[in-house]
Amino acid sequence: MAEYDLVVIGGGWAGFNAALRAKKLGLKAALIEKSFIGGTCLNLGCIPAKTLIQSAKVFSLTKKSSDFGVDNLNPSINFLKIQERKTKLVAGLRLGMQSMLKGVDFFNAEARVVSPQEIKLGESIIKTKFILVASGSRPAELSQLKFDGKKIVSSNELLALKEIPASLLIIGGGVIGCEFASLFSNLGTQVAIVEKMPRLLPGEDPEIAKKIENIFKKKGIRVNIDSDVRSVNLDNSNLILVSVGRSAQAGSLGLEESGVRLDRGRVIVDEYLKTNIDTIYAAGDCTAKVMLAHFAGYQGRLAVDNIFAKANSKKADSSSVPNCIFTDPEIASVGLNEERAIMEGRGININKFDFLGSGMARILDETQGFLKIISDKRSGVVLGASIIGPKATETIGILTLAVSCRLTIEQLEKTIFAHPTLSESIGEALK
């Protein structure tokens, strides 16, 4: 078998994007995936979850259609049909990804690294100049609440439910926990959240965390912050979701035997995504840097560029990665939030706009929330932004560009935003 320039292990967003970059550079590349192309994001994460969330949102909107002057009979949920739509959508995207890989050798098999330039697939050994590990992550487990796949489940099992649970207890009020709380509450489930930290979404702006907590409570979601799971009666819920983060999964690939340094399943890489072995790089969740699909894709592309254009190697930069949370209302942030900026001792200005003042938000009847922009007091450079409100995950794109390109408040002020839109809230915040 001919030697490859690059073999990528893992067909998630990091590995897929790495393979496409290698193809674009004209390299002889292979991609190995033991399960389905698309990894967690496409099959067990972003795409299926957001598909269910959209169905729940349509149901929620339909229930208040009379507020828009549209009379409707009592809407009902066909959950099996919702799941069928999700399955069909995922399968279609999977086929699309597979077709884009034309020109890259694809192996649907389990890989094991047997040397810095050799990978074992079944009984065969393939040789390569470089290896890129992109083996992803899995739901983290609690020692006192082991997954049984029936009552105590991870997000994997929750996405595959055949029926809507009457009650759901969510352990962990982070991104995944809050998204599922919002989703199932909109579908009629009695939801409770237990979070050990003093607030939901610990990494987000505290004002936004408090806002979503209040919105959840108004919807009937029981929120228990500063609470230990041991203080909760687990028998009161039909289903228990443990959503306490994700763990890198690279420990079963034989990397340590080949000399690669790992830390509890996480591949240790430098700023250029290289391991301690010159021919082995890693990208995505298995590096446990920023566990977001879009950052994984960026890492995958960057790793390939760094491998084959060492003279122009670039450090992985996580300073302007947008974080999107698909609750109802949506939450999004980028760069520094107010709390973090103050902790770093920065002099800042804060510009804020409430969606009650937005014409489009009123048209949509989604006025809960606000937008907050953080800028440097002296230079006016935009340092970060946080949003809770309608289509926050779309509006954050403009502010991500502002943070990434180090735009100033003055430059944003000169931008003409279309009216009536949600994005014009950025301009309104600066007035």
Which parts are annotated binding residues for NAD(+)?
A: 172-179, 195, 245
DSSP 145: B
**Type of residue at 101:** L
DSSP string of 190-237, one letter each residue: EEEEEESSSSSSTTS-HHHHHHHHHHHHHTT-EEEES--GGGS-GGG-
Closest CA to 384 of 392, 396, 394: 396
End-to-end C-alpha distance for the chain, whole angstroms? 65
Write the Ramachandran bin of 265: left for phi over 0, alpha for psi from -120 to 50, otherwise beta: left
Contacts of residue 196, defined as CB under 8 A and 6 or more positions apart, other chains included, come to 226, 227, 228, 229
Q: Report the DSSP pairing between strands 105-107 and 29-32.
A: parallel
Pick out the residues of the known binding site for FAD: 50, 285, 291-294
Whats the size of the chain, residue-wise?
Answer: 431
Q: Note whether 382 and 375 are within 8 A (CB).
A: yes
Task: List b or e across 136-152, with b for residues whose CB sees 16 or more CB atoms inside 10 angstroms.
Answer: bbbbeeeeebebeeeeb
Active-site residue set? 419
